[in-house]
């Protein structure tokens, strides 16, 4: 896969939420007003590059907060406690602050392109990245501050007031993705750049999160139908599903040792393989049990187990690319599973829904589920199980539990809904003079 050589750039503007930080001073610095630019390619690349600082926190939150992985060293064990301890300083600095700040930096860069670039393709890419950034923010933090300006006011702090997540979905994320679909094609599919099919896939995912299963099925079905023409297909071997540039990739954040990553601590492959001392034996036995149950119920060995976990050493083995490993944010199997879920929630018959999973299960060495589940509830459970095993360590599990309302059932305990989302970094609250508020419970 071609690695984008992201260009560093500092835009002297109101740095919005991250005004108290100095980590935008990248090397080499290039201090320019947005209005002085004639080529907005560097700013667009900056919007992409800021996503590299988001990959590890998102993957850790998605799997370590859930029943796939465990933290072992205090205070990081707060990931498994579901109380206010998650707002502790070390955790915030390790995960939540880089996640929060890099997304808003990506948004600001995207805003500059949207307002100033004469290239309709650049504007469409920027809208995709802005939508993606806000989607990540609302899924993790709930209500968030919204900035759609390239030069937000430095004096009117009221613009920092957090907006309801539903409004962010309806007024920013969905319109931006719709605009991206209209403005993009699929010519940049293997480059880590936004494409039409990626925008449509994320729009389908957003509708799924919103509980709009009819629109979700429409968009996700369109992605599946257009995938062959875009050169996207299921990998024949599960061992290849997270390798860079594999045939399933719809959108990935490109990471390369030739370009500085904006996340400075242990990267996500190291968290899952036990390389970080905060969790040397990270594998949660409940994930191992789920793989074993999958094999037992099918009367065959689920091949994904050995390619995902090392039970003898209690670690994950899915990622082998180290610091070169791309963050695959959307792949075809994910789309197929979401499409099956949307159809099932719309009341489609089990005989229509379950065959969609056949290719995925055949690759895993398993039998078809057709005929084994007949009710909507049973099909729902089957799809959730496939998502857990197929997408383990790809940052989906916790967010899937929250959006499907199955946190307590799957986690085996009653968890206060305050802790379904994560704490706003306290530095942002202080920098806003308290205009930005903390999530309840933290």
Q: Could you read off the pLDDT of 99-123 as tens digits, one per residue?
A: 999 999 999 999 999 999 999 999 9
The span from the CA of 328 to the CA of 386, in Å, is 18
Task: List the domain range (segments joined by +) for residue 58.
Answer: 10-417
Q: What is the CATH number of the domain that holds 305?
A: 1.25.40.390
- pLDDT average, residue stretch 339-345: 98
State the pTM of this model. 0.93
CB 426 within 8 A of CB 98: no
Predicted confidence (pLDDT) at residue 362 exceeds the cutoff of 90: yes
Q: Are 176 and 127 in contact (CB under 8 A)?
A: yes
Q: How far is CA 206 from CA 32, 257, 406, in A?
A: 35, 32, 19
Task: Confirm whether 3 is domain-assigned.
Answer: no
Q: Does residue 295 fall inside a structural domain?
A: yes
Q: 36: pLDDT confidence band, cut at 50, 70 and 90?
A: low
Residue 182, in any domain of the structure = yes
Residue 334 lies in a domain: yes
Residue 141 lies in a domain: yes
- The answer to whether 44 touches 150, Cβ cutoff 8 Å, is no
CB atoms within 10 A of CB 266: 16
137 domain-assigned: yes
Which tens digit of pLDDT belongs to each residue from 37-91?
Answer: 779 999 999 999 999 999 999 999 999 999 999 999 999 999 999 999 999 999 9
What local confidence, expressed as pLDDT, does residue 31 receive?
42
Whether 441 is in a domain gets the answer: no
d(Cα 442, Cα 324) in Å, to the nearest integer?
A: 35
Evaluate whether residue 1 is within a structural domain.
Answer: no
Say how far residue 34 (Cα) sits from the centre of its chain: 29
Number of domains in the chain: 1
- Interval 282-313: pLDDT, tens: 999 999 999 999 999 999 999 999 999 999 99
32 strand-pairing partners:
11
Q: Report the mean per-residue pLDDT for the chain.
A: 92
């Amino acid at each position: 896969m071609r690695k984008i050589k992201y260009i560093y750039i500092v835009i002297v503007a109101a740095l919005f939420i991250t005004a108290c930080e100095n980590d935008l001073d990248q090397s080499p610095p290039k201090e320019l007003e947005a209005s002085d630019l004639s080529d907005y390619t560097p700013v667009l690349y900056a919007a992409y590059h800021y996503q590299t600082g988001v990959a590890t926190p998102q993957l850790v939150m998605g799997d370590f907060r859930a029943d796939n992985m465990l933290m072992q060293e205090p205070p990081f064990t707060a990931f498994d406690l579901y109380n206010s301890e998650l707002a502790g300083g070390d955790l915030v600095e390790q995960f939540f602050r880089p996640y929060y700040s890099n997304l808003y930096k990506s948004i600001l860069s995207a805003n500059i392109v949207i307002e100033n670039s004469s290239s309709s393709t650049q504007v469409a890419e920027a809208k995709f990245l802005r939508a993606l950034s806000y989607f990540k923010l609302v899924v993790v933090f709930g209500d968030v501050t919204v900035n759609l300006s390239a030069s937000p006011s430095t004096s009117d702090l009221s613009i920092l007031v957090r907006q309801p997540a539903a409004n962010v979905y309806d007024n920013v994320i969905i319109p931006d993705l719709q605009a991206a679909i209209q403005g993009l094609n699929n010519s940049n599919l293997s480059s880590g750049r936004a494409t039409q099919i990626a925008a449509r896939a994320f729009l389908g995912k957003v509708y799924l999160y919103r509980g709009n299963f009819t629109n979700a099925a429409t968009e996700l079905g369109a992605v599946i139908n257009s995938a062959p023409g875009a050169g996207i297909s299921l990998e024949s071997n599960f061992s290849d599903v997270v390798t860079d540039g594999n045939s399933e990739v719809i959108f990935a954040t490109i990471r390369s040792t030739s370009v500085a990553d904006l996340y400075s601590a242990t990267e996500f492959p190291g968290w899952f393989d036990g390389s970080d001392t905060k969790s040397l034996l990270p594998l949660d036995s409940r994930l191992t049990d789920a793989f074993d149950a999958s094999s037992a119920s099918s009367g065959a060995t689920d091949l994904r187990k050995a390619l995902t976990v090392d039970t003898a050493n209690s670690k994950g083995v899915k990622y082998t690319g180290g610091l070169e490993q791309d963050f695959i944010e959307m792949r075809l199997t994910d789309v197929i599973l979401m499409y099956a879920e949307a159809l099932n929630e719309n009341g489609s018959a089990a005989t229509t829904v379950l065959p969609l999973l056949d290719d995925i299960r055949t690759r895993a060495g398993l039998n078809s589920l057709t005929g084994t589940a007949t009710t909507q509830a049973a099909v729902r459970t089957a799809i959730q199980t496939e998502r857990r095993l197929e997408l383990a360590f790809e940052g989906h599990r916790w967010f899937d539990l929250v959006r499907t309302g199955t946190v307590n059932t799957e986690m085996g305990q009653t968890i206060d809904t305050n802790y379904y989302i994560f704490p706003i970094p306290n530095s942002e609250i202080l920098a806003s003079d308290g205009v930005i508020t903390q999530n309840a419970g933290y």
